[in-house]
Structure 1
Amino acid sequence: MNAARRIDVHQHIVPPVWAKALDDLGLDSGGWAIPAWSAADAIAMMDEQGIATGVLSVTSPGVRLDADGSRNAASRAQALARAVNEFGAETAKDHPARFGSFASLPLPDVDAALEEAAYALDTLGADGVVLISNTGGRYLGDPAYEPLWAELDRRAAVVFVHPAQPPMPLLRGTPAPLADYVFDTTRTAVDMALNGVLSRYRKVKVILSHGGGFLPYAAYRFSGLTSTALDTGRTAEDVIGDLKRFYFDTALAASPSSLPSLLAFAEPGHVLYGSDWPFAPQEAGTYYNRFLETYPDFAPGQAEAINRGNAEALFPRFAQPKS
């Protein structure tokens, strides 16, 4: 793109307090190193990649870093969520046209997550929340999370779902972002759909990372087997209808093989631009942008909608006046 027009819904922030917390515990993001970050570097990347605005989020493993389920671990997660959310809010406040923010929530503590969501959305002005696909093996369709989904639905909130390492060992020599993350996005999306989250809470808007993992490609496998063998009280059309309520970002997913499946499955207006910077280096952004910019089968106006228009509908404060 010649001008900075894109709205990037999958761009990460690395608050120093979060990076230090990970380092203190010897953690990283699923075997992926934590990169350096600054607002200046982010803006420089955005200018080069045609990105007007990035909606920032903390990536996996999120803010619940301790493996134990103790009260102290929950308290530490709540404090870390508050710290990273305030850092993100300050960044967006300092650069209001360039950055938005998704607030981190300290799940699996639902009461603390509700408290932090209210603070982040009402006081800090967050543009939505980011939820990690699983926390300690608990996925987002877990019945214990019903109060959180109900509140997010009441607010018609935008929810960005970022994958995590699933509860299994890493594939030898392979960091989780390479393969396991696309699997875990799919896993949590199916968990949400089969547990009725999407059918009960119809005002919340849920964005799945990385083109939805392999959900678009395998959606009719999920719907057909659910309706015929797992839950015969639901039709295949019911399941597909729920799965089609998801939104999808293009981070690491704009390619000649994935775009046809994604665009064939996603509802109109449900595909959004994403970069995954800085965890995906700028060279990766250039690689996938080239596929997006040269894709031959977009409908008229579809490329601009993916780059900007669809995100404007979710985040009206970033909308530009129509010329």
Structure 2
Amino acid sequence: MKVIALEEHMFPRDILESAGLDLGRRGSTRLAQLDEVGEGRLQIMDDAGVDVQVLSAAVGNIVQDLPLSQATEVSRAINDRMADTVAAHPDRFTAFGTLPVADAAASVDELTRCVEELGLVGAMIHGQTHGVFLDDPTVRPILAAAARLDVPIYLHPAPPPSAVREAYYSGLSPNVTACLLGSGWGWHAECGMHVLRMVANGVFEELPDLKLVVGHMGEGLPFHLDRIEDMLTPVVTGHSLTVVETLRRNLYLTTSGYNSDAPLLCGLAAFGADHILFSVDHPFSDSKKATTHLLSAPVTEADREKIAHSNAEHLLKI
């Protein structure tokens, strides 16, 4: 069975160093693996049975938060490197682009270049940019470009603003704070809320063809779906679809970092097999563990094929 993994990160060390960037505590510990896109990565994929990785720039929020001209320059450099990596192993890699989100016009130009010139399959955006969510009208041209180009936006979590960090995560040890505001909880709650803001503020009403992908088995949304429909839909007025109908039309989930039955079955029940795609979250999660669960999960073989590769082939046109 073919396996395509959608949230597989890289970050070229030379671009990082030349731009004077810091990947932070979590990213820096994995820099050697993030920088490796040759035989070492291919061996990990082969050992796990991953046929294709969809590459993305790890911790892309550090690029989004750069001054505008530098964000554009660094995004272009990363995207050029992505394209070179894909060209070196076109049967094993494809990639999402990185965008200077604070500059909508530059982002539209760069997304168009990524898709039409470099052959990339969409873009990954990491949370807010300078405190701005993707439902903000200033970001709408980027989302409209993605819809026009028929490519998805992958919304990855990012650290919260300083005010949220202080209110929610202060008074704890540094290691606990770092975990709780990130992969231990906060990332997922904030990313799920980010998606709901997009629905509530009419992004998908205006752009019904926009495809949004989130990882980590839906960032908590599948578990809360009935409650969201009961509570949020009555106050989101004037839309053609309910909140949950919109989510089921426009949102896709990946399994990144989640390798147990209960979250997968919850995602399947909430969104259906056509909207769930396999991911590992390399190098932050174990590829072999992820594929082992994919092959053993209590789902039909038809659904397993959809999750493993056919949904990705359809969504990304690969």
Length-normalised TM-score, structure 2? 0.87
Q: Which amino acid in 1 is paired with 2:254?
A: D
Do 1:52 and 1:98's aligned partners in 2 also have CA atoms closer than 8 Å?
Answer: yes
In 2, Cα distance between equivalents of 1:31 and 1:54: 19
- The CA deviation at 1:111 is 1.2
Q: Is the 8 A contact 2:47 2:288 kept in 1?
A: no
Structure 1 residues 31-110: aligned runs within 5 Å: 33-36=29-32, 37-39=35-37, 40-62=39-61, 63-66=63-66, 73-110=67-104
**Alpha-carbon distance, 1:18 to partner:** 4.1
Partners of 1:48 and 1:20 in 2: CA distance: 31
Q: What are the within-5 Å matches in structure 2 for residues 103-252 of structure 1?
A: 103-167=97-161, 168-169=164-165, 171=169, 172=172, 173-174=175-176, 175=179, 176-228=182-234, 230-233=235-238, 238-244=242-248, 245-252=250-257
Structure 2 distance, partners of 1:34, 1:183, is 24
Q: C-alpha deviations, 1:166-190, integer Å up to 9, x for none?
A: 2232844233123222122202111
Q: Is the 8 A contact 2:278 2:308 kept in 1?
A: yes
Q: Which residue of 2 aligns with 1:273?
A: 278
Whether the 8 Å CA contact 2:128–2:134 is kept in 1: the answer is yes
The alignment partner of 1:138 has SS state of coil
Judged with a 3 Å threshold, the aligned counterparts in structure 2 of structure 1 residues 41 and 293 are, in CA distance, closer, same or farther, namely same
1:302 is displaced (CA, Å) by 0.7
Secondary structure at the aligned position of 1:182 is classed as: helix
| Displacement after TM superposition at 1:44 (Å) | 0.9
For residues 123 and 25 of structure 2, the distance between their equivalents in structure 1, rounded to whole angstroms, comes to: 19
- Is the CA contact (8 Å cut-off) linking 1:78 and 1:112 kept in structure 2? yes
- Give 1:32 deviation, angstroms: 6.5
The question of whether the paired residues in 1 share the 8 Å contact of 2:56 and 2:124 is answered with yes
Query: Which blocks of at least 5 consecutive residues in structure 2 are unaligned?
Result: none
Partner of 2:259: 254
Partners in 2 of 1:279 and 1:87 — Cα distance? 21
Kindly, what percent of the aligned residue pairs are identical?
27
8 Å contact kept, 2:278–2:307: yes
Aligned to 2:6: 9
- For 1:28, the equivalent position in structure 2 comes to 24
How far, CA to CA, are the matches of 1:61 and 1:180 in structure 2? Answer: 17
Describe the superposition over 1:5-60 as per-residue Cα deviations: whole angstroms up to 9, x where unpaired: 201111111122443267x3544166763431312222111101111111100122
**Aligned Cα RMSD in Å?**
2.2
Summarize the Cα distance change of 1:316–1:146 in structure 2 as closer, same or farther, 3 Å threshold.
Answer: closer
Match of residue 320 from structure 1: none
Specify the alignment match of 1:315 in structure 2: 316
Q: Residues 259 and 43 of structure 1: is their aligned pair in 2 closer, same or farther, counting only changes over 3 Å?
A: same
CA distance in 2, matches of 1:299, 1:95: 32
TM-score normalised by structure 1 residue count: 0.86
Q: Return closer, same or farther for 1:147/1:154 CA change in 2, 3 Å cut-off.
A: same
How far off its partner does 1:204 sit? Answer: 2.5
Match among 288, 291, 311 for residue 289 of structure 1: 291
Say if 2:115 and 2:149, in contact at 8 Å, map to a contact too: no
Alpha-carbon offset, residue 289 of structure 1: 3.3
* Residue aligning to 1:69: none
In structure 2, distance between residues paired with 1:258 and 1:76: 39
Tell me, yes or no, if the aligned pair for 1:227 and 1:233 is still in contact at 8 Å.
Answer: no
Provide structure 1 residue ranges, at least 5 long, that are not aligned to the other structure. Answer: 67-72, 318-323
Distance 1:184 1:279, change over 3 A: same
Number of aligned positions between the proteins: 301
Distance 1:144 1:30, change over 3 A: farther
| Residue pair 1:255, 1:292 contacting (<8 A) in 2 also | no
**Per-residue deviation at 1:278?**
1.2
Shift of residue 203 of structure 1?
Answer: 2.2
* Structure 2 CA distance for aligned equivalents of residues 18 and 177 of structure 1: 25
